[in-house]
């Protein structure tokens, strides 16, 4: 069971790393909202953390990297920084998880050190969950607020892109991975404490036996006389 949980954590960690990279790289955080009187759409605008792309008739696409970070709205600026932090955290957590597995040569055969290593990896996964969820939810909140804002013109309104849904799914995977590692650590620690308590009771019982004085039973005089008769 222990080895299965470790393998599952490694697999989910790889999925989380792939998801954070895709979320950060794809220019699909905000897309054009096809609303208003125009029924024929000739091009679609896609905005990401690093570039903006125009797609014409689903055939030709042109992308341009942002010239400056300052031209981005605050939510995209924060999302760019937090997405990079999330990638770094997931990568480090994946390496730490590999070092704390039972098959790893790290920490020799010290199971207690490996358990602490896996617990640290679980905390990193939970932290990466927050750094992934916060920017995605912030951008989604801004998009939805502007969409229903009557003062914003239709051409400036955007819809939720696929990268936001990838970010939400990835944050869920990271949360599950962190919970698995911390649950395994708590269970292993409980078993260690229970084993230590049992060993302590056994040693205390042995000490009591060594300190005790054995008193043999001697036959009484009346019993000896009756036996003689």
Give the tens place of pLDDT for each residue, 39-48. 455 678 889 9
Q: Is residue 121 part of a domain?
A: yes
How far apart are alpha carbons 134 and 44 in whole angstroms? 27
Give me the percent of the chain exceeding a pLDDT of 90. 39
Please name the residues in contact with 104: beta carbons below 8 A apart, sequence gap of 6 or more: 98, 114
Largest Cα separation within the chain, whole Å, is 127
Containing structural domain, residue 104? 2-26+71-142+160-208
Across 50-68, average pLDDT: 83
- Residue 229: what pLDDT? 43
E strands present in 24-126? 30-32, 43-47, 51-56, 60-65
pLDDT at 179 over 70: yes
pTM: 0.76
Domain count, the chain: 1
Helices 2-25 and 74-100 cross at an angle (nearest 10°) of 150
Does some domain include residue 221? no
Write the CATH number for 127.
Answer: 1.20.140.150
Residues 168-192, mean pLDDT to the nearest whole number: 81
Q: Give the whole-angstrom CA distance, residue 89 versus residue 200.
A: 40
In a domain, 14, yes or no: yes
150 located within any domain: no
Is residue 216 in some structural domain? no
Q: Which DSSP letter does residue 137 get?
A: H
Structure-block tokens of residue 92: 């480090």
**d(C-alpha 73, C-alpha 178), whole Å:** 32
Residue 78 CA to residue 165 CA, distance in Å, equals 18
């Amino acid at each position: 069971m222990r080895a299965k949980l470790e393998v599952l954590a490694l697999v989910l960690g790889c999925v989380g790393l792939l998801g954070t990279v895709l979320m950060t790289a794809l220019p699909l955080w905000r897309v054009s909202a096809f609303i208003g009187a125009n029924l024929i759409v000739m091009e679609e605008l896609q905005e990401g953390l690093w570039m903006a792309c125009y797609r014409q008739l689903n055939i030709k696409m042109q992308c341009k990297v942002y010239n400056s970070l300052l031209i981005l709205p605050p939510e995209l600026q924060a999302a760019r920084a937090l997405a990079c932090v999330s990638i770094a955290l997931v990568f480090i957590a994946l390496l730490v998880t590999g070092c704390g597995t039972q098959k790893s040569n790290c920490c020799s055969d010290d199971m207690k050190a490996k358990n602490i290593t896996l617990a640290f990896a679980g905390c990193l996964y939970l932290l990466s969950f927050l750094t992934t969820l916060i920017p995605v939810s912030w951008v989604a909140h801004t998009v939805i607020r502007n969409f229903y804002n009557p003062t914003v013109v239709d051409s400036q309104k955007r819809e939720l892109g696929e990268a936001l849904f990838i970010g939400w799914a990835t944050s869920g995977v990271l949360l599950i991975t962190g919970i698995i590692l911390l649950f395994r650590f708590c269970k292993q620690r409980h078993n260690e404490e229970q084993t230590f308590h049992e060993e302590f009771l056994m040693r205390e019982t042995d000490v009591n036996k060594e300190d005790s004085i054995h008193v043999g039973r001697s036959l009484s005089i009346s019993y000896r006389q009756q036996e003689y008769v």
